Structure 1
Amino acid sequence: MTIAGGIVLIMLGAILTWAVEFDIAGFDINVVGVILMIGGLAWLLFAVYRLSLARRAVADTTATTVIEDPVTHRRTYQERHYNDPPAV
């Protein structure tokens, strides 16, 4: 489910609603276009919701270590990323 899928449904529904002049007995193409636009809007909102959840679920990838030198009493802050090679 992507954002593009919802936009495509909305565009297809708009084309069927306002640009197509087609008549079949017992079948209204304008109603089908409106249904597709509503479905595309629901799809678009759901895709944006899922995207916001995926961005919120990203884990912290840094680790901070505090090293204190006993002689100079200075603190050194070391920040490592998980994809860094191991320190020797």
Structure 2
Amino acid sequence: MGLGGCIILIAVGAILTFATDWKLDTVNVDLVGWIMMIVGIVGVFVYASIARRRRVVVPPSTTVVSEEERHGL
């Protein structure tokens, strides 16, 4: 799940929790909204940690050249 999917989960969860007043006998819509928001927030943190790990740049190792090798001695 990408960053966009996580943001959609947060938005839909917030809409279900705060903007609707549906009352269903079998499903607690507010609880479903909270769960969706929590999963979306966790997804954002996981995505951010994976993206941060991918951005680490390791500089190439350099070889040390001594003065004798440089002048061909």
Give the TM-score range, shorter chain.
0.7 to 0.9
Give the corresponding residue for 1:42. 42
More strand by share: 1
- Decide which structure has the larger Cα Rg and report it: 1
Unaligned runs of 5+ in 2: 66-70
Q: Which aligned runs of 4 or more in structure 1 are off by greater than 2 angstroms? A: 58-61
TM-score by length of 2: 0.74
**Pairing of 1:1-88 with structure 2 (within 5 A):** 1-56=1-56, 58-60=57-59
- Over the matched positions of the two proteins, sequence identity in percent amounts to 32
TM-score by length of 1: 0.62
User: How many residue pairs end up in the alignment?
Assistant: 63
More helix by share: 2
* Higher relative contact order (Cα pairs below 8 Å, separated by 6+ residues): 2
Unaligned runs of 5+ in 1: 71-88
